[in-house]
Amino acid sequence: MTDERPDPASTAGSRPAPLGTGRREPTAVDAVAERWFARAMELDPARAAVHGLPGHGTGYRDFGPEGLEARTEAVRRTLAELAHANPADDVDRVTAHALRERLGLELDLHEAGLRGGEVNNISSPVQEIREIFDDLPKRTAEDWAQIAGRLRAVPTAVDSYVRGLRHARSRGRSASAAQLRNAAAQCTGYAARHGFFAELARSPRVPEALRQEVAEAAEAARQAYRGLAAVLGGELAADAPRTDAVGPEVYALRLQEFLGAALDPASVYAWGVEQLRTIVAEQERLAHRIAPGATVAQAVAALNADPARQLHGTEALQAWMQDLSDAAVDALAGTHFELTGPMRRLECRIAPTRDGGIWYSMPSADFSRPGRMWWSVPEGTETFTTWEETTTVYHEGVPGHHLQFSTALANSGELNRWRRMGVWVSGHGEGWALYAERLMDELGHLQDPGDRMGMLDSQRLRAARVVFDVGFHCGYRVPAELGDALGGARAGEVWSPGDGWRFLRSNIVMADPKLRFEWMRYMGWPGQAPSYKVGQQLWEQAREAARAAAGREFRLKDFHTRALRIGSVGLDTLRYALDL
């Protein structure tokens, strides 16, 4: 990454046409992708509801072995169809490349026995079944009738999930006892008398005529989650593995799944160690600006103690998030990025759960439901620091995930529905969002040293979890060269959960409840956490390759527009597309 400031006034010889003005006739390759997207939505009606696609009912995907086989058969059929479809243009060539990469890897994972039966604290059916309700519309009686129908479908979805978990266990694969018990605790929280399902039924927005129906359906969902908690924390946890580590062979596949690029875990591990050392040195230099002679920890303490950098209560947090997001949209639209019409609308919300996660949910296909940033505030957390979280708003909103998703979604004249809505690759998406954090510094939006320290803290978090995630799952040794940054992790020893906890606490400025969520996440979702920092590096490499090719004609806005219009593809596909 260079220290050069991007020049928005520089010009390029060929600029993208304004978003939404391009039109192309659908092709044979588009037809294959559209059929795959339609079949995927049939198999996952809850996902169709998130996209705002009508006609799919109020059910869920089948989480059991039968559902897994149905999807695998659809994958095989799509790849066979794609083999006979000739690309008509570069858009087709990218679609074909992306489909082959995504679906081919899905088959590899299936054949390795790595599909189905997932349990973790952030991205498994435990959360998926519940999270659908966050994005369902709640304005009209018809909306609430749909919610009641979805609530009634929860017990069937949970039953199929339990079948899938037992099937995975019969084939020798299970999450660890710690992950299972942690997920059971989440289920218990959702099913509590004042938990998610009960509070949904008590919403004052429920029409009086539907109140009993919604309450009965919510009670059925609540009882289903109580049963799921018992299965996870009892039957399955009793004889589950005691470690989450998956080993280097499985980890390489998982890393490829989240990156869309095949990398050697050992090389990624060594790179992560060096990245962490570089970021720590950068923080140490900045700490002296915040408080002369201060260490990073002392500078952070000074920032935390500054009343001007504190927010109290979730209402203040939500209002601050929204104001900062709106200001970013106003400052960047039309100058550095293409943000037009409904793309400019982003809602910042406090999530109805207490898990500790922060995430973005994309707009509906027609933008009638806007993109949303969600913050799930842990129980008891009432004070928030703006210096730490400014970069988070940029990550989830603009120029991060919201810009990324809405640009692809608005490109309906060029991209088929699968390219716009049906594909998401973490290394591309999270890599972009982390790239966007650094970019905001380059564009002059992090002049305040506290806000810049927050961005570097975010970068340090992502580098530290490359080290722990790869090292723990692959059984590598704790790197002695990190010195004081190890924070008590045992240099030279194979990574253990305890080493990971001490190491993360030393490198991440985060309250213990939220950090515990992150620590459990890394151990239960191998390969995903490194996709942020590795993805950022690949985005930076793509930009510098484009700069070198264009020379004096390079224009940063045009690079971003062209790259984001491609959609969320694997990083190998992104490189392929940008070279066409």
Look at residue 563 and tell me if it is in a domain.
no
Are 131 and 36 in contact by the 8 Å Cβ rule? The answer is no
Per-residue pLDDT tens over the stretch 340-386 = 889 999 999 999 988 788 999 999 989 999 999 999 998 889 999 99
Query: Would you tell me how many other CB atoms lie within 10 Å of the CB of residue 418?
Result: 23
Same domain assignment for residues 238 and 299: no
Predicted local distance difference test score (pLDDT) of residue 12: 37
Look at residue 170 and tell me if it is in a domain.
yes
Same domain assignment for residues 204 and 279: no
Looking at the chain, how many residues does it have? Answer: 580
Last residue of a domain, one of 244, 261, 280: 244
Predicted local distance difference test score (pLDDT) of residue 2: 35
- At a CB cut-off of 8 Å and minimum separation 6, what does 558 contact? 12, 14, 15, 16
Same domain assignment for residues 105 and 213: yes
CA distance 271 to 225: 42
The amino acid present at 498, given as its one-letter code, is: G
Among 203, 231, 81, 191, CA closest to 144: 203
| Domain enclosing residue 76, as ranges | 28-244
Cα-flanking dihedrals φ and ψ of residue 554, to 5°?
-65, 135
CA distance 485 to 273: 10
Find tokens 């990218």 and name the residue.
Answer: 94
Q: 388 pairs with which residues across the strands?
A: none
Treating both helix axes as pointing N-terminal to C-terminal, what angle do 571-579 and 426-442 enclose, rounded to 10 degrees?
Answer: 70
Same domain assignment for residues 224 and 274: no
Same domain assignment for residues 346 and 388: yes
Are 470 and 272 in contact by the 8 Å Cβ rule? The answer is yes
Among 570, 579, 275, 290, CA closest to 438: 275
Low-confidence ranges of the chain (pLDDT < 70): 1-22
Same domain assignment for residues 97 and 133: yes
Predicted local distance difference test score (pLDDT) of residue 378: 87
Predicted local distance difference test score (pLDDT) of residue 19: 58
Q: 349 pairs with which residues across the strands?
A: 374
Among 441, 478, 544, 121, CA closest to 272: 478
Q: Is the dihedral of CA 403, 406, 410, 411 positive or negative?
A: positive
- At a CB cut-off of 8 Å and minimum separation 6, what does 322 contact? 347, 348
Same domain assignment for residues 197 and 321: no
Same domain assignment for residues 163 and 309: no
Per-residue pLDDT tens over the stretch 463-521 = 999 999 999 999 999 999 999 999 999 999 999 999 999 999 999 988 898 899 999 99
Predicted local distance difference test score (pLDDT) of residue 509: 85
- At a CB cut-off of 8 Å and minimum separation 6, what does 197 contact? 151, 190, 191, 218, 219, 221, 222, 225
Same domain assignment for residues 193 and 263: no
Are 428 and 535 in contact by the 8 Å Cβ rule? The answer is yes
Predicted local distance difference test score (pLDDT) of residue 184: 98
Are 281 and 271 in contact by the 8 Å Cβ rule? The answer is no
Same domain assignment for residues 496 and 393: yes
Last residue of a domain, one of 244, 274, 305: 244
Predicted local distance difference test score (pLDDT) of residue 6: 40
Same domain assignment for residues 239 and 342: no
Number of structural domains found in the chain:
2
Same domain assignment for residues 227 and 345: no
Per-residue pLDDT tens over the stretch 104-153 = 999 999 999 999 999 999 999 999 999 999 989 999 999 999 999 999 99
Predicted local distance difference test score (pLDDT) of residue 410: 93
